[in-house]
Chain A
Amino acid sequence: MSILWSWIIAPLEYGFMQRGVLAAALVGILCAIIGCYVVLRSMAFLGDALAHAVLPGVAIAYLMGTNLTAGALVAAVVVALLIGVFSRQGVIKEDTAIGIVFAAALALGVALISSVRTYAVDLTHIMFGNVLGVSPADLWLIVGIGAAVLLTLLAFYRQFLVIAFDPVLAATQRLPVELLRMLLLLLIALTIVVSLQTVGVGLVAAMLVTPGATAYLLTRRLPAMMAVAALIGALSSIAGLYLSYYVNIASGAAVVLVATATFTVVFLVAPGRGILWRQG
Chain B
Amino acid sequence: MTHFQQITNEPAHLEIERLTVAYGRRRVLDTISFRVEYGERVVLVGPNGAGKSTLFKALVGLVKPQSGTIRIHGLPPGAHRDCVAYVPQREEVDWRFPVTVADVVMMGRFGRLGWFRRPTRADRIAVERGMELMGIAHLAHRPIGELSGGQQQRVFLARALAQEPHILLLDEPFTGVDAATQEATLSVLDALRDQHVTIILSTHDLGLAAAHFERVLLINRRLIGDGPPARALRRELLTEAFGGQVLTLPDGLVLVDQCACDHPETESIAIT
Contacts and interface: CB of A to CB of B under 8 A. Distances in A.
A115 B113 CA distance: 55
B92 A171 contact: no
Contact of A221 (B84, B94, B98, B116): B98
Contact of A166 (B82, B93, B113): B93
B107 interface: yes
A221 B92 contact: no
B78 A174 contact: yes
Contact of A168 (B86, B99, B104, B115): B86
Nearest to A41: B94
B11 interface: no
A161 B106 CA distance: 12
A173 B81 contact: yes
Given A159-B115, A174-B81, A221-B99, A168 B92 contact: yes
A219 to B, nearest CB: 6
A268 B25 CA distance: 50
B175 to A, nearest CB: 17
B107 A165 contact: yes
Contacts of A161: 99, 107
A250 interface: no
Contact of B98 (A40, A162, A171): A40
Counting contact residues on chain B (CB < 8 A from A), the size range is 20 to 34
Contacts of B111: 172-174
A168 B143 CA distance: 20
Interface in B63-107: 78, 81-82, 84-86, 88, 92-94, 97-100, 103-104, 107
Interface string A146-171: 00000000010011011011101101
A169 B107 contact: yes
A216 B99 CA distance: 11
A39 B78 CA distance: 31
B159 to A, nearest CB: 8
B60 interface: yes
A117 interface: no
Contacts of A174: 61, 78, 81, 111
Nearest to A273: B145
A168 B56 CA distance: 12
B34 interface: no
A171 B143 CA distance: 24
Interface residues of A, number: 22
A145 B92 CA distance: 35
A37 to B, nearest CB: 11
B213 interface: no
A171 B62 CA distance: 7
Given A40-B97, A158-B110, A165-B94, A221 B143 contact: yes
Nearest to B103: A221
Given A158-B110, A165-B107, A172-B62, A225 B98 contact: yes
A74 interface: no
Interface string A215-239: 0100111101100000000000000
Contacts of A219: 98
Contacts of B115: 159
Nearest to A219: B98
A225 B100 CA distance: 13
Interface in A159-206: 159, 161-162, 164-166, 168-169, 171-174
Contacts of B100: 220-221
A221 B97 CA distance: 8
B61 A166 contact: no
Given A155-B116, A222-B99, 12 more contacts: A40-B98, A161-B107, A162-B110, A166-B92, A166-B93, A169-B159, A172-B84, A172-B86, A173-B81, A173-B110, A220-B143, A221-B98
Interface of B: 60-62, 78, 81-82, 84-86, 88, 92-94, 97-100, 103-104, 107, 110-111, 113, 115-116, 143, 159
28 contacts: A40-B94, A159-B115, A161-B99, A161-B107, A165-B94, A165-B99, A166-B92, A168-B86, A168-B93, A169-B107, A169-B159, A171-B61, A171-B62, A172-B60, A172-B61, A172-B62, A172-B85, A172-B86, A172-B111, A173-B81, A173-B82, A174-B61, A174-B78, A216-B98, A221-B103, A222-B98, A224-B98, A225-B98
Interface of A: 40, 155, 158-159, 161-162, 164-166, 168-169, 171-174, 216, 219-222, 224-225
